[in-house]
Structure 1
Amino acid sequence: MWCVAQLPIRLQWWLGNIVGLLAWKLARSRRHIAEVNIRLCFPELTKAQQHALVRRAFIANGIGLLELGVAWFRDPAKLTGITRVHGLEHLEQALSHGKGVLLLGGHYSTLDLGGSLVTEYIKADVMQRDHNNPLMNAVMTRARERRYGTVLGARDLRGLFRSLKKNHTVWYATDQDYGRKDIVFAPFFGVDAGTITATSRIAERSGCMVVPFSHFRRQGRPGYDIYFHPALENFPGGDDLQDATRINGIIEREIRRAPDQYLWMHRRFKTRPDPEDPGFYDHST
């Protein structure tokens, strides 16, 4: 990954295409998960269009895999010339309240590189879920510690509240299936998805602002776009389901900017409202 990170970006993207296509051909289990997700989330597409979107998603995430090397081993400042930031004033306005900011992100294919690029424009802490592979986790954590102010564990709520109390910006994502604990089932692309309620609890207890943001690889030519949106008003609203529905709707809106650049290989709908319901990802369904 270090070697690939030294290559010109166009060559990295070309190699990422190959990696993505190989994964699309060979990683049958992950392809099945992506196919199910795309079918559920984009029922308006024909089967051929859904098939094409799955293929493009593997390519986008193949490129994203190689971009990890750039995020972990190179200085992202070298990419600021091909990066555009939109709406930074929204984050600055949110910070002016003095209660900290939850930067509401998502698992896009530019996950680590987008996060590294963000730190060229703002100071931020990050919450991370440790990687199962110890070596990958060590490299990832070391790289993030260089880029972010503080790297917090996914369960380190005390650390999170300390950061918010200092009026820090904390990168935070809620768009994965974390099981049945402390969730509500809120629509995500029209499908009930287990969605954690922690975002509402954190905002309620800390008084922080919640600012949605996203980051995407530009189509056609090398470059990246980072989007900050106005802080959520009247959040939390006192109803966990309404709050979760609102958050899922925001993430869905951002995904629709570039549907192929989302991590569709994750079993987002693994947890069903009724435990007796058959799983979406069973090959028999």
Structure 2
Amino acid sequence: MDRPRFTRTFLHPRFWPLLLGLGLLWLTVQLPYRVLLVIGRLLGLGMYRVAGERRRIAARNLELCFPELPLVERQRLLKENFVSTGIAFFEMAMSWWWPKARLARLAHIEGLEHLQAAQQAGEGAILMALHFTTLEIGAALLGQRHTIDGMYREHKNPLFDYVQRQGRERHNLDSLAVEREDVRGMLKLLRKGRAIWYAPDQDYGAKQGIFVPLFGIPAATVTATTKFARLGKARVIPFTQQRLADGSGYRLVIHPPLEDFPGESEEADCLRINQWVEASIRECPEQYLWAHRRFKSRPPGSPKLYEKRRR
């Protein structure tokens, strides 16, 4: 994709509310990091009270995935999850606008040698990640240390799309944005030995995947990871990030590449991926994106797991 450019149309009055909002957000994130954590926490608690539909989805997911937990513990997790989402709002702005040196001080990176080894061998790397609430800042912090290309869906608002892409791509000017539907483009980059951020943990429908267990529930799981690894001749390198409880920043871990991947079948690969997804989520469940209807696709004849959306 071409680099984003500012155009005079962004000065049109229809963009003024967004420009004002972005300006206020820019001013807010000039505050100290620990103050932003407090403000983000308050924002998350406010969202918990007013975001009824998202709260119901997240609560249902926690009920499905952690049935062994007492109700009071799941409610605590739910509230902390909204707190994490509120903090993520400011982490997004930090990753877009903080000076690079200030942002870099928050990074605690482990396992960078696994990406470097793939690069030195001339092999592509599928940086297999998850939709944690820390996704935006995790990608920014890693992008400062290693070129990472990303799967990208253009935002409907052109001004927001410009600001978002500018913020994401500034950490490494060699990084590229790849349209999510551009499979050929992704494969070309992998064959050139580049690393691409990719998350296989959402429900894209039964037509794009197969049903394998996740937290003991049949979940529609994309088979694309296997296809990309095989056709792109790439290593699959798991990547996780976590906001540290002591306020010192973020722990980013690049794990060793998956061995013998692809395996004997797409089903075996998807099961292996979901086992890793589940284990990674269990390490910090309060920071995962639970508001996604992960189990909306169901095997034929199986009952729906979510209530109909309330009008």
Given the superposition, is the C-alpha separation of residues 42 and 134 from structure 1 closer, same or farther in structure 2, using an over 3 Å criterion? farther
Secondary structure in 2 matching 1:147: coil
CA deviation string 1:211-251 (max 9, x = no partner): 00011110132311000111011111131111011111112
- Normalised by the length of structure 2, the TM-score is 0.86
Asked if 1:277 corresponds to 2:305, the answer is no
Q: Indicate conservation of the 8 Å contact 1:4/1:69, yes or no.
A: no
| Offset of residue 190 of structure 1 | 1.6
2:270 to 239, 244, 248: 244
Q: Which has the larger radius of gyration?
A: 2
Pairs within 5 Å for 1:99-248: 99-148=123-172, 149-248=175-274
| Offset of residue 53 of structure 1 | 0.3
Asked if 1:10 corresponds to 2:34, the answer is yes
Secondary structure in 2 matching 1:53: helix
Runs of 4+ in 1 over 4 A off after TM superposition: none
Secondary structure in 2 matching 1:256: helix
Secondary structure in 1 matching 2:83: helix
Question: Which amino acid in structure 2 is aligned with residue 50 of structure 1?
Answer: R
Asked if 1:56 corresponds to 2:80, the answer is yes
Asked if 1:253 corresponds to 2:279, the answer is yes
Between the aligned partners of 1:170 and 1:61, the Cα distance in structure 2 is: 25
Given the superposition, is the C-alpha separation of residues 76 and 248 from structure 1 closer, same or farther in structure 2, using an over 3 Å criterion? farther
Q: Identity over aligned residues, as a percent?
A: 39
Asked if 1:78 corresponds to 2:102, the answer is yes
- Normalised by the length of structure 1, the TM-score is 0.94
| Offset of residue 255 of structure 1 | 1.5
Secondary structure in 2 matching 1:271: coil
Given the superposition, is the C-alpha separation of residues 144 and 80 from structure 1 closer, same or farther in structure 2, using an over 3 Å criterion? closer
Between the aligned partners of 1:42 and 1:221, the Cα distance in structure 2 is: 27
Between the aligned partners of 1:28 and 1:14, the Cα distance in structure 2 is: 23
Which moves more between the two structures, 136-145 or 178-187?
136-145
Structure 2's unaligned 5+ residue stretches are 1-24
Between the aligned partners of 1:90 and 1:43, the Cα distance in structure 2 is: 36
Which moves more between the two structures, 242-251 or 80-89?
80-89
- Provide the aligned C-alpha RMSD in A: 1.6
Question: Which amino acid in structure 1 is aligned with residue 143 of structure 2?
Answer: T
Question: Which amino acid in structure 1 is aligned with residue 148 of structure 2?
Answer: A
| Offset of residue 62 of structure 1 | 0.7
